[in-house]
Structures are given as structure tokens and as C-alpha cells.
Amino acid sequence: MIAMLNNARLRAIGAGLLGFAAMLFAASAPSAASTYTLTYSGQVTAATGMFSTLGVTGGDAVSGTVGLENLDVYSEFSSALVFNRLFSQFPMPSAFQVSHGVSKFTFENDGIGSILSQLYGGTTSSLFLTAFGPVTQLSLYYETGAANVPLESLVGLTDWGQVPGLLSGSIASLFGKFEVTNLGSVTFSINLPPAAPVATTPIPAALPLFISALGGLGFVGWRRRRGQAAA
């Protein structure tokens, strides 16, 4: 009877420790967020109108951000030639900055926008972001020569330079454009981020304690079995 109680007690303790370990690993897993800030950066390739007058020229640095929400919600529409999934955004705050020497020109806007994932002709895939301000339009564009099915989710997209990692195939086009209606525009290349290092999963601080507890349970069971054999 005592041996049965001891066995039941050991099983209960073991189950408790396994449950504790499961909670530790679950807590270490990343959780999805509903709001994102997408960043982009690059260099000016062409400037017109007011930007040219201000001295902005090829090679000047460009950077900015776009606020994104609800990136799993999309509208799907297609034709015989084009297959589209449109991720609408409202509001879609955006910021654009171009630097020329010591001068920096910054524009901040709130407005509607969208990200369009498109498969064209079964041979070309693209991702096209548009963010509108009262008198401005920011566009970020990526195209690949591979036939990728339009994306169903953009969760995790935090840098426009990451887009080539979302769509397979070689880069056919990657650029951005910022326009002030009837006043001028800046076209720019987009930087690709450096290759990310291979991620390692950290060991939770309590895991060594959990392993030690399992070892202790095994030792107690071994001593009990040895005592029973000697008796």
C-alpha cells in the first residue's frame, strides 16, 4: 500500500514538473502583434520640382516609416491575367525624410493606404505599398520574376528590405517614390538589410532546475526499487 502511494506521489510530482516546463516554453514563444511600424531607407536616384530646387540630388539619404494594422485582412479579386490580394489600411501614418548635406526635409502624414500582393500573367509577382497624405503619396514597390501566389498574411513585415525574403525569385525591381502633388517628387532605391544570423532558442532560466528535479525523481525511484529488492 505504501509503495502504491509512493508511486502515485511520484507520478503527480512528475506531471506537475512537466506542466511547469510546458508553461516555460510557451512563455518564451513570441506573440503576434496587431500593429506594426514598417521602416525603409535608401538613396535618391532622381529628384524633380521643389526637391531639385532644394538641392536634393542622386545619392542623398532617404528614410521613413509607415504604420500598419490588420495585416491579415485582405480583399481578393482577380481576372484571367491578374490575381490580387489587397490589404487595406486606415489610418496609415507615414513619414518621409531626405537628407542633403546638413539639411533634412521631413514630411509626416496621416491617411488611407494599402498593400497590394499581385501575381501577373502567372510569371511576375509584386508587392506594392501606397500611403496617402492630404497632398502627398508614398509608394514602395517590389517585383520578382518568379510566379508566387499572392500572400495571405503580411504579419512580421517590419522593413521593406525584407520583402525579397517573403517572395522567392530574383529581384526584378525594388524602389520607392515620394510625391508632393504638383510640386515635385523623389525616386529612391531601397536598402536590403544584412543577412540575419541564425537564431538560437534561449534556455529558460528554470529549465536546469526542472532537469535536476527529474534526476532527483529518478534517483528516489532507484533507491526505492533497490530497497524492495533487498527486502
DSSP string computed for 55-115 = T--TT-EEEEEEEEE-TT--EEEE-SSEEEEEEEESS--EEEEEEETTEEEEEEE---EEE
The residue ranges of DSSP E strands in 121-210, in sequence order, are: 124-132, 136-144, 171-180, 184-189
For residue 216, is it within any domain?
A: no
pLDDT, average across residues 4-15:
47
What Å distances lie between residue 114 and 52, 71, 86, 158, CA to CA?
A: 28, 10, 7, 15
- Residue 156 inside a domain? The answer is yes
Q: Domain for residue 132, yes or no?
A: yes
Which pLDDT tens digit goes with each residue over 186-221? Answer: 999 999 877 555 555 565 555 555 455 545 555 455
| pLDDT value of position 30 | 38
**Mean pLDDT (whole number) for 95-110:** 95
Within-domain flag for 150:
yes
Give the C-alpha separation, 24 to 70, whole Å. 29
Among 12-16, 32-36, 156-160, the least confident range = 12-16
Q: What is the mean pLDDT of residues 49-68?
A: 96
Question: What does DSSP assign to residue 159?
Answer: B
pLDDT tens column, 28-44: 333 444 678 899 999 99
Q: Does residue 29 sit within a domain? A: no
**Angstrom distance (rounded) from CA 139 to CA 94:** 11
Residue 15, pLDDT > 70, answer no
Question: Can you say how many angstroms the Cα of residue 189 is from the centroid of all Cα atoms in its chain?
Answer: 21
Q: What residues make up the domain containing 178?
A: 35-189
What pLDDT is stored for residue 17 in this prediction? Answer: 38
In a domain, 51, yes or no: yes
- Specify the number of domains making up the chain: 1
Instruction: Record the pTM.
Output: 0.69
Residue at 9 is within a domain = no
Residue 13 has what pLDDT?
A: 44
Q: What is the pLDDT of residue 70?
A: 75
Average pLDDT, the chain: 80
pLDDT at 71 over 60: yes
Cis peptide bond prior to 197, omega within 30° of 0: no
For residues 94 and 138, the answer to whether their CB atoms sit within 8 Å is yes
Within-domain flag for 125: yes
